Structure formats: C-alpha cells, structure tokens
Chains A and B, each alone.
Chain A
Amino acid sequence: MARTEKKKDVGNHPIATGLVNLMWVVLCGLIAFPLLAGLLASFRPGRELVQNGLAINFDFTTMTLDNYKYLFGLAGGNSKVDSAKYFMWYKNSLILTILTVVLTLLVCYFIAYGLTMYKFKLQGLLFFLVIATMCVPFEILMLPLYQEVTTLGIINTRAGVILPGLCAASTIFFFRQYMQSLPKELLDAARIDGCTEYGISVKIMMPITKPAFASMAILCAMGSWNNMLWPMLVFRDTNKFTLQIGLNTLLTPYGNNYDLLIAGSMFGIIPILIIYLIFQKYLIDGMTAGAVKG
C-alpha cells in the first residue's frame, strides 16, 4: 500500500509520522545496543571484555584494531595460522549456504506448487505430513540419520549436509501459504494460451512468488549460516568445517580465545547481511498489479 497514491492518507499527519519514527528509533536503538556493545568489544583486547563486560565507553585511546589484525593474519605469530583457518571456515560456510539456499528454494517451491495448485488424492495426507515433519525434534532422528548418511556414502560431503534438509517443511509450508493468497485464474488463462503445467509453474507463478522467494532466501540463508549440529556430524575433515563449528571450537573448558571469537563473529555477519540486502529488493517489488489484473 505504500506504492499507491492516497490523497487523504494518515501519512500526511506530521504528529503520527513523528511518533512512528520515534518508535523505530527507540526500538532499533534497543535492538542495536547489544550489537553495538559487541562491535565495540571487538575493537578491544579480548581480556578487557572478560573483565569489564560490555560497559559501553567510547574511550578511543583503548580501542585498537588488534583483533582484526589478528583475524586477517597481520599480527604475526599464531595469527597467520588462525587467520587461514578462519577464512577457510568462512569460505566453506559461504559455499554451503549458497548451495543450500538455491537448491532448497527451488525444490520447495515446486513441491509447494504441486501441493497448492492442484486437487489430487494424496494432497491432504501430504500436507499433513509437511506439518508433521515440522514437529519432529531433529535430535531423535540424529543417530538413524547419521547411520543412513554413512551407508549412502555421503558422509563428510556437502551432499550429506544438504540433502536431508532439502525438502524443508517450513519452506514448503511458507510457499504454500503464500500461493494460497494468489489468484488461481492466472493458471487457467495460461492453460488456454497453451502453456504446459510445468511452464506455468516457472513462467507464470514463479515471478509473482518473488517476495516469498526473497523472504525464504533470507531465512534459509540465515538458517544454513547458523546451522551447526548437523554439518558438524557430517563433516569429519577440519578443512570442511563451517564458520559456526570453527567459532565454537574457540570456547573450550581450558580457556576461550576471545580475541578471535569476537572479531570473527562480528565479521561473520557480513556475508549474510549482503544476502539480505540483495534479496530484500525483491521483497519490495511485491506483486505487480499488472500481472493480477492482466
């Protein structure tokens, strides 16, 4: 509705505008506080965080780039090794996340399309199963799934990480809910035009499902980037570990490597933020009025 021109909209009230924006400032300030504290902490020696907690002070004299120098291997000593490891985890996470997002979205889109746009016998049962898979704690599937992946020979591979979660029930469900609110008349119109069932799903529906794709891409990327339990069980090779696994190894019962942990965690937000910025464009696009009316 932001795109439509409304002459007597409340948007013209300066007081309402002021209040709403004030609310955003306060809310986002609160949300940003821990992040800001973390960011500031990343410019201080790790032990200072340990001793002084999050005390926010902009004492620039104690701020240093050491943690980031360490992160990028510029500090000499151990830092070269740690830096190489960090960026290896980083790269692994990126590859895994991109593969997961692309594959999951496509597979789930088509499944949801089949589930929503047709009437067929198994439909009710399958939709129930989609809901059911969302209600099963992964922890009880863990051991059998581990054995299975080992038997299938995809242990220690990206396929082993991605395939079991490919048909993500929550993504299917989201697409389904989204498609439900779309007009079905489009399908019949396309059929009359001689478009095949599969053609419709790609050429007609996919473009107008873009906002759902965008939000699922963002969510799926986030889930994959932060996922640790299953990748950790599948990967056996340090060279394949992801960022989350790696960062967690910095906390041990024999002491924590705070320097690398804080800077590394803060720097680890960046790629996933970029993915967000890319896809949120499509969120804004929304459903084109022309396609609906056409």
Chain B
Amino acid sequence: MSKFKKLFYSQKVAPYVFVLPFMLSLIIFWAYPLISGIVMSFQDISFGKRTFVGLSHYTKLMGDKFFAIAVGNSVEYMLLTLLLMIPIPLVLAVLMESRLTKAKGVWKVIMYIPALTSVVISGMLFRMMFSEAAGSQMNQLMTWLGKTPIAWLKTKWTAWIALLLLCMWRWTGVNMLYFLSGLKSIDTSIYESADIDGANAWQKLWYLTLPLIKPTTIYVVTISVYAGLSMFLESFMLWNGNSSPKNIGLTIVGYLYKRGIEKNDLGYACAVGMVLMVIALIINVIQLVATGTFKKEDR
C-alpha cells in the first residue's frame, strides 16, 4: 500500500495521473467517433444501411468544382483573418496595458460584448447594415461619400469586406483578451531593467514583449488557423442561410452541411470533413514545428 502510495506521488507517475482524464476522453469521445467518421467517408449511408464504396467519395471530391470554390474561400478567409486578427489585437492589447490608456475597463467591456451577442441577432444586425437597400447603414455611408449604393453581399470583394468586418467585430475583443492574459505572464521586472538601460517604447515592444508573448501568439495562430478554415457561422449569418450569390460565401463546412445535412449524403460529407482536417493539421503542424512549439527543450 505504501509502495503504491509512493509510486502514486512519484514524479514518474504524476504526469500520467494528470493526463489520465484527457486520455480517457480522447479514446471515448474523440478516437471512436473519429474512426467511425473515417469509415463513413468510405461508405454510402442511408437509413440503417451502409455500403462500402471505397475511394469513390474522394475521387469525386477531386473533380468537384464547388468543393474547390469552398476550399479556396476557406483558405483565403483563414489567411486574411490571420493577417488581421493577430497584429491588430496584439497591438491593441499592448496599448491597453500601457499607461497611455485611460478608462481601460470601459474599452475592454465594449470590445468583448460582440462575442457575447447571440448569433441570431448579430447576423440579423449585420445583414441589415450591409443590405443592398439604399437605406442601409453602409449605403448611407456611401451616399455621404458621394458614391452610389452598392449591393454589398452580391459581389465577392464587397461581401468579403462585410465578412471580415463581421469577423473582426466579433473576435477582436476575444483575441485581445488572449494577448492581455499573455502579457500578464511576463515578469514586469524585465521592463524595469530595460528602463534602466534606456530602452524606448518601441524597443521594449519589439525586443521584449513580442518574444515573451510568443507562446500566446502561437496559441492564437493555431486556433485561428482552424477557426478560419472551418468558418461557417459568419457566412450563414450574413446571407441568412447556406446559399450565397455565385457561392462567394461558400466554405468547407458550409459545403459539408450542404452535402451531409441538406442532401443527406453523410459519407460524402465525412470525406469533405476529412480533407478539412488534413489541411488544418498540416498547416498547424508545420507552423508549430517551425515555431519550435513541438521541441522538448523549449519547455
């Protein structure tokens, strides 16, 4: 008994005790469904009947032009959100932490509220703001600028402005929150010594804050890669459904829904999902290896 106790408290066994819930959950709620999902991607599924169809879903995917559009849109969206949603919230977080900013609490709350607003209502609000009707807010803005009203959601680049603004509106505050808590993990004495060495604000940001906040940045990049690739809700909100003119808002997950749910072709939908998983995994593994997050010494 005491031997067992000793073992239980040893540094060798402790990590396994800590990660035990994860391993259990992984096996029960992830590995099993995932394997079922993989199997399903090789099957035709109808009520109570499954037929094995080999690779045919995947070969069909290769020639599916709408899938190509969906992948293109999702990748594009992911890249654009990475470009916008990492630097901007980071700078905002640093500014928020600086002594320049007054009334911090107020700004933080306002930045964060959009993420709390229910999807139904925020979708409706944005749809109305970007409506092609002359009276919509964005078109009123165009009129003030002396331009003619635009059918915002019908051409790709204007629709994507709306899409990216919606994304930024909803998630800037959240990403800023990640960076804020990352900034908190930095030992403040470092800045004091930098001050003594006469470093200016930019030098401190570039040589101290950025490298020290790297783990948080990597985290935000990793979740943004998947979030960008799997975007569906924003598009659904903006076009009030899964259909956008000329599929300018079609994403991989949107296509998965079209196939799996609207057309009851779960096998094909699973194949679509697998491709999404593989793309996201490849990008993230490359990114994490490149930034050294996988390296053991880095711990």
Q: Which residues of A contact B (CB under 8 A)?
A: 1-4, 6, 8-11, 13, 16-17, 20-21, 23-24, 27-28, 31-35, 37-38, 49, 52-55, 107, 110-111, 113-120, 122-124, 126-137, 139-141, 143-145, 148, 163-164, 166-167, 170, 172-174, 177-178, 180-182, 196-198, 201, 211-212, 214-215, 218-219, 222, 225-226, 228, 243-244, 247-248, 250-251, 261-262, 265-266, 268-269, 272-273, 276-277, 280, 283, 286-287, 289, 292-293
- State whether A20 touches B188 (Cβ < 8 A): no
Within the complex, the shortest CB–CB distance from B118 to chain A, in Å, comes to: 5
Q: Which of B92, B97, B269 contacts A140 (CB 8 A)?
A: B269
Per DSSP, chain A at the interface is helix
Question: For residues 1 through 57 of chain B, which have their beta carbon under 8 Å from a beta carbon of chain A?
Answer: 9-12, 14-19, 21-23, 25-26, 28-30, 32-34, 36-37, 40-41
0/1 string, B113-152, CB within 8 A of A gives 1: 1111111111001101101010111000000000000000
CB distance B98 to A1 under 8 Å?
A: yes
A129 to B: closest C-beta gap in Å: 6
- The number of residues on chain B lying at the interface, defined by a beta carbon within 8 Å of a beta carbon of chain A, is 112
Q: Are B135 and A53 in contact (CB under 8 A)?
A: yes
With A10-B100, A181-B215, A214-B181 in contact, is A141–B37 under 8 Å at CB? yes
In contact, A212 and B181 (Cβ under 8 angstroms):
yes
By the criterion CB–CB under 8 Å, are B296 and A119 in contact? Answer: yes
> Given the complex of chains A and B, what is the CA–CA distance between A148 and B27 in angstroms?
12
- CB contacts (< 8 Å) of A119 on chain B: these are 296, 299
Q: How many whole Å from A240's CB to the nearest CB in chain B?
A: 18
Interface residue? B109 (CB, 8 A): yes
Q: How far is the CA of A197 from the CA of B5 in the complex (A)?
A: 12
- Shortest A103–chain B CB gap in Å is 10
Query: Is A144's CB under 8 angstroms from B169's CB?
Result: no
**Do the beta carbons of A215 and B219 come within 8 Å of each other?**
no
A21 and B9 form a contact (CB under 8 A):
no
Contact B102 A17 (CB under 8 A): yes
User: B residues within 8 A CB of A163?
Assistant: 25, 29
**B222: contacting residue among A16, A32, A173, A247, CB under 8 A:** A173
Q: What is the minimal beta-carbon distance from A172 to any residue of chain B, in angstroms?
A: 7
